[in-house]
Amino acid sequence: MDKLWAHLIEVQPDPDPWVVLVSALVALAIVGFRLPWQLSRGLITIAHEGGHALMALLTRRKLEGIRLHSDTSGVTVTRGRPHGPGMVLTAMAGYLAPSLLGLAAAWLTEQGRVTLLIWTVLLFLVCMLLLIRNLYGALILLATGGAVFALSMYAPSHVQQAAALVAVWFLLFGGVRPILELQHKRRRRQARDSDADQLARLTVLPGGFYVFFFLLVSVLSIAFGAYLMNPLP
């Protein structure tokens, strides 16, 4: 156990500045272009639904399960009081989760704890797998977890570091686009049961306020994450 812990908290040297910049550009291209975004958006959905599930557990709501769908949508089913702080926080956590997870991952990467970050992601995926209630969701989590496990076991340290940087930037940038897509759907009245509209029904604030709040947190997470991983002296 001592050797395992020492391996997990091993500190890697700082990446070259060009590696940080290129990884940011790669992640931005994945999020910004239509085809790579459609192929990778399911990863953001995993973080989104994981955020709902984690907050439900923290607020002591009964977690029934999680479903991930082939159209990159998802749903987390909980039981408990239909109103109150627990329900509000659970509904609020989804759109904030990718950005906040990206910010936490940026801090670990800046500290050189890439191995710890990778194994934390694996633990997160295993916990979600236990809560999945449909076959497609289980397959997506198994494929994602298998790729992360293979990276941790067989890739050299510099490859792990580069992949971790791309993943961190992807979470930070990828946290913004679903919020913009949400507002676009709300303007066309195609998202009447979105998290923002559920929050509007639970509180006195309009749904637009929550969209703005989600966007503000996501943009601030990008700014602070970029500050943490700043490659320049």
- Does the structure show a pLDDT above 80 at 1? no
Torsion of CA 212, 40, 102, 78, to 10 degrees: 70
* pLDDT value at 209 more than 70: yes
pTM over 0.75: yes
Residue 227 has pLDDT above 70, yes or no: yes
Q: Between the ranges 38-52, 76-90, 192-206, where is the mean pLDDT highest?
A: 38-52
Q: Using one digit for the tens of pLDDT, what is the confidence trace for 49-62?
A: 999 999 999 999 99
Percentage with pLDDT > 90 across the chain:
78
User: Residue 187: what pLDDT?
Assistant: 87
Residue 13's pLDDT is what? 85
CB atoms within 10 A of CB 216: 11
Question: What pLDDT is stored for residue 150 in this prediction?
Answer: 94
Residue 10: pLDDT above 70?
Answer: yes
Range in 3-12, 189-198, 214-223 the model is least confident about: 3-12
Q: Is the pLDDT of residue 233 over 70?
A: no
Residue 232, pLDDT > 80, answer no
Mean pLDDT, all residues of the chain? 92
∠ CA(77), CA(82), CA(83), 5° rounding? 130
pLDDT in tens, 23-76: 999 999 999 999 999 999 999 999 999 999 999 999 999 999 999 999 999 999
Dump pLDDT digits (tens) for 113-141.
Answer: 999 999 999 999 999 999 999 999 999 99
